[in-house]
Amino acid sequence: MRATPLLMMCLAFALGCPNNEPVVTVVHRCGDVNFTDLSGTFGRIQAENNINPKFRIKFSTENGEISGKFVLGGFERWAMVGSPAGHEQMTFQETGGDRFIKAGLNDDCRLTVEPGRKDGGKEVMDPGEPLIFAPFGEIANYDYEPCSEPLFIQAGAKRKVRAKPPKDGEVPAIRASSMPVGAWSKKSDLPAGCDPIFDLYLDGEGDAYNVATVEEKGDDLNWGMDVDNRYLGVHGLAMHRYAKCADGRKLLGVACIEVEVK
């Protein structure tokens, strides 16, 4: 006897076969560049297909939430969290701040970015056309971490009593071929059983890694090294302080300063 579809359905039910529900597969128009599961590093496209790494974004997705760390042309960088804003659109709001970007996808699957800030509850967009970004893995090792503390130079790098950050908007002038840079922290901030090390970044690029020149000075730790001033102009320095423990490195702070080499 030939089995009919109904008989086959009955047999499947009797044998306890699972109920085959349809599987929904979401296919994004732009593949991995989407606002459902966005990750990786992006650089600004300029002059046709050239990437300018001074404008860079690092995305990550965790538990369905997309976050980003942004460096939009200058030395300052900040962290943001995304929220849906329509089809292929998302708004990223600065964590604890008033800046934001409106992100979207153009016809070429490039990421469009429109920066702005909130002023008295009103959105004020930066002038100009949207910035265009594309995935660019070569800038994964650049600096994206927001600054959390001041980095000191010259005497303040080695003597805490002289450690005074520049005034807002002030960029110290340096006329020497090299200079000491340093940060300060309490010894008690370092977890027990861990060693203090740091990475140093110059203009966003790694200049020194796993540096262990950290000295105890009273109740403090002095993190520091000498830096060669190889290029004239304004430069940004960022020191990432870590606790090196048995289970890996833990970021303790990011000390930053801008200087002008003359």
Per-residue pLDDT of 180-234, as tens digits, reads 999 999 999 999 999 999 999 999 999 999 999 999 999 999 999 999 998 999 9
pLDDT at residue 8, rounded to an integer:
37
pLDDT at residue 5, rounded to an integer:
37
Per-residue pLDDT of 74-102, as tens digits, reads 898 999 999 999 889 999 999 999 999 99
Per-residue pLDDT of 31-65, as tens digits, reads 999 999 999 999 999 987 899 999 999 999 999 99
Question: Is the pLDDT score of 250 beyond 80?
Answer: yes
User: Which architecture characterizes domain 40-139 according to CATH?
Assistant: Beta Barrel (2.40)
**CATH 2.40.128 domain position(s) in the chain:** 40-139
Query: Mind spelling out the 3-state secondary structure of the chain?
Result: CCCCHHHHHHHHHHCCCCCCCCCCCCCCCCCCCCCCCCCEEEEEEECCCEEEEEEEEEEEEECCEEEEEEEECCCCCEEEEEEECCCCEEEEEECCCCEEEEEEECCCCCEEEEEEEEECCEEEECCCCCEEEEECHHHCCCCCCCCCEECEEHHHHCCHHHCCCCCCCCCCEECCCEEEEEEEEEHHHCCCCCEEEEEEEECCEEEEEEECCEEEECCEEEEEEEEECCCCEEEEEEEEEEEEECCEEEEEEEEEEEEEEC
User: Which architecture characterizes domain 149-261 according to CATH?
Assistant: Sandwich (2.60)
**CATH 2.60.40.10 domain position(s) in the chain:** 149-261
* pTM given for the model: 0.85
